[in-house]
Structure 1
């Protein structure tokens, strides 16, 4: 989600829509498209200003086009939420598919990195600074059984966030991450079907939060 003249790389489903509705004016990228379009209609009806853009964070060209369109329409970028994420396998390290791991790296790490590059550049060029929030995960701070590749990508998000925060805080660009626990999304529903009570115990999971709980942070 990018904002205040804005835009957003985000993931699918309920988490996106609730995040979007909590922050506006904004732009959003992600699928399914009807979720973003419905959010725009609702925000506009409430008197807000919103724009929806479909983009592919696995494509550098698509990311460039996204930010070019944002700058043409709004003229500046004040904040961004990088929330695009992929977790489509629950296997042990030995069983994990390297191809699926590479896909998660492309979306969760490289896609976020490319978005951050452009976001920081626009914020620096404006002279106004800005704020960036990256969606990490509790698994980016701890290990988790049956999701080693996904955990590795979220550790990378934490590392990029910390480094960017150090590099650009003195220039007015704040970069932080949110590391939610278990959130009621399609991703966690698939994972919970495969993860045992031992896995939940290793994360000290006592309950499953809603997307609204995470946004309220």
Structure 2
């Protein structure tokens, strides 16, 4: 199928993990792709272009609002529109609250929460100018619904992403702009690569399915939310978590 032919997807953190797989899955359905990430990965661009679509990269630190504005502007200048936005860039967190430095707290909040706000602000400004509106998917987490020790900034940010998603959906539902959030469980991405086998096993056991998720499993949820198959959904939070939140 080519459901996204002549449409443009803007994906933050698109060089690896969930972002990369989401870029590939929507490119296979015809979408042109703008990857916004800290550093360029030409192999990812070549892989996307091999699917017969146009792909471009722009360096973007989502914690910098002017960098985000420039990235959205460049997307429209390059491809002519912004139809799907996937606000996926994020960093991990560690340390109990009394141990956490202000710098650690600020970094996680700036990227994982404020970065999503900056992206939504400029994405929505563009989508309001388009006849067909647009579609925004934000990456929250299972930790956007519950807490966990040692990740206070991450938990606060991901809860905030759910609230931002719901608020934006209420504000722009009549403007043909849909906004939803995905809540991945623990997924086999570069964020977990520094963990030992024992640590990964412990994470696996937290899920009723007794394994980690795969980036492509989250990408499939992204594709569905980006498509008209989910046309009456906005302000929703969809967990992709191997049953984590069912417990």
- Give the alignment's TM-score, normalised by structure 2: 0.77
Alpha-carbon shift at residue 101 of structure 1 (Å): 0.8
Q: Which runs of 4+ in 1 moved over 6 A?
A: 191-196
Secondary structure of residue in 1 paired with 2:10: coil
- The superposition leaves residues 22-59 of structure 1 with CA deviations (integer Å, 9 ceiling, x where unpaired) of 1221111114422xx22221222231121121111121
User: What RMSD in Å do the two structures reach over aligned CA positions?
Assistant: 2.5
Counterpart mapping for 1:1-217 below 5 A: 4-10=7-13, 13-24=16-27, 25-34=32-41, 37-87=42-92, 89-190=93-194, 201=206, 206-217=210-221
- Structure 2: distance between partners of 1:214 and 1:117: 24
- The superposition leaves residues 58-89 of structure 1 with CA deviations (integer Å, 9 ceiling, x where unpaired) of 212211211221121222211100001011x3
Query: Structure 1 6/214 Cα, relative in aligned 2: closer, same or farther at 3 Å?
Result: closer
Choose between structure 1 and 2: higher strand proportion.
Answer: 2
- Structure 2: distance between partners of 1:118 and 1:23: 22
- Structure 1: distance between partners of 2:58 and 2:110: 20
Paired residues, what number?
211
- The superposition leaves residues 156-192 of structure 1 with CA deviations (integer Å, 9 ceiling, x where unpaired) of 1111001111111111000000001000113234577
- Give the alignment's TM-score, normalised by structure 1: 0.87
- The superposition leaves residues 88-131 of structure 1 with CA deviations (integer Å, 9 ceiling, x where unpaired) of x3212222222111011111111110110111111111121111
Secondary structure of residue in 2 paired with 1:207: coil
Query: Structure 1 206/123 Cα, relative in aligned 2: closer, same or farther at 3 Å?
Result: same
